[in-house]
Amino acid sequence: MSPAHIQINDAVDRVVTITISRPEKLNALNAQTLGEIEAAFEGVATDSRVGAVILTGAGPKSFVAGADIEGLAKASPIGAREIALHGQRVFRRIETCGKPVIAAVNGFALGGGLELAMACTVRVASTNAKLGQPEVKLGIVPGFGGTQRLPLLVGRGRAMEMLLTGEPITATEAYRIGLVNHVVEPEQLLDKAKEIALKMLANAPVALALTMEAVDVGLACGLEQGLQFEATAFGLSAATEDKREGTQAFLEKRKAKFSGK
């Protein structure tokens, strides 16, 4: 059965585009949408035809306007915790799928929408984007990773201001503080996201995956364990055919042709 709330385009140049599409709710995340995103990224992780993902929202108004407040308003404390754990699991799957994920942020990225964007590898925002964690205005706490990923990206002080005021920021301010990597006009958004994806895919696939995992381990476990993992990853990459091809191509002054092996 085809997903109801996301659209998955066929891979072009090994880049697949996943679009969250609940226009009547500004692409807000409910349990079904989260489940469809999770299933999509399970597929991405194991599909050798896919090298990178662009994740965006349908329409010019919203990337993802947040979680579905209607459902959340009815949730019990235990139910709310389960909602949070579900969202955290889905976003962690995006983060650990082993392939670069570019968030193309169009319009609102609020609450769960910003948390979704932060779980991606890099973020490109359109000039009309608004990004924020407004949960405190609803009497709740960010539940899909906002209190954890936002300080890692922008630092404790700036994260605290965003989290505790609940006020959104513009794309320009998000770029200034390091929350997004690029800001472009809306009509250039997907092209810029694909440009970044293709630059990444010009490199060795195994090295890309190991590099992302090394960063993840270091952030989660600290410098010493991160360095140990990095050394192991370096050794693993040195055993690949791509390492032999990459180093030989450099010495021969030609473009490398990586096989992902």
Residue pLDDT tens, the chain, 261 long:
678 999 999 999 999 999 999 988 999 999 999 999 999 999 999 999 999 999 999 998 999 998 878 777 888 999 999 999 999 999 999 999 999 999 999 999 999 999 999 999 999 999 999 999 999 999 999 999 999 999 999 999 999 999 999 999 999 999 999 999 999 999 999 999 999 999 999 999 999 999 999 999 999 999 999 999 999 999 999 999 999 989 998 999 999 899 888
**What is the model's pLDDT at position 69?**
80
Q: Sketch out the chain's domains with CATH numbers.
A: 6-201 (3.90.226.10), 205-251 (1.10.12)
Selection from 141, 116, 129 nearest residue 168 by Cα: 129
Catalytic site residues? 115, 135
**What is the model's pLDDT at position 66?**
87
8 Å CB contact between 75 and 30: no
Give the pairing of strands 101-105 and 122-126: parallel
**What is the model's pLDDT at position 1?**
63
**What is the model's pLDDT at position 244?**
92
Q: Where are the beta strands (DSSP E) in the chain?
A: 6-8, 15-20, 52-57, 62-64, 101-105, 108-110, 122-126, 130-132, 169-170, 182-184
Question: Can you give the pTM of this predicted structure?
Answer: 0.95
Q: Which helix (H) or strand (E) holds 153?
A: helix 146-154
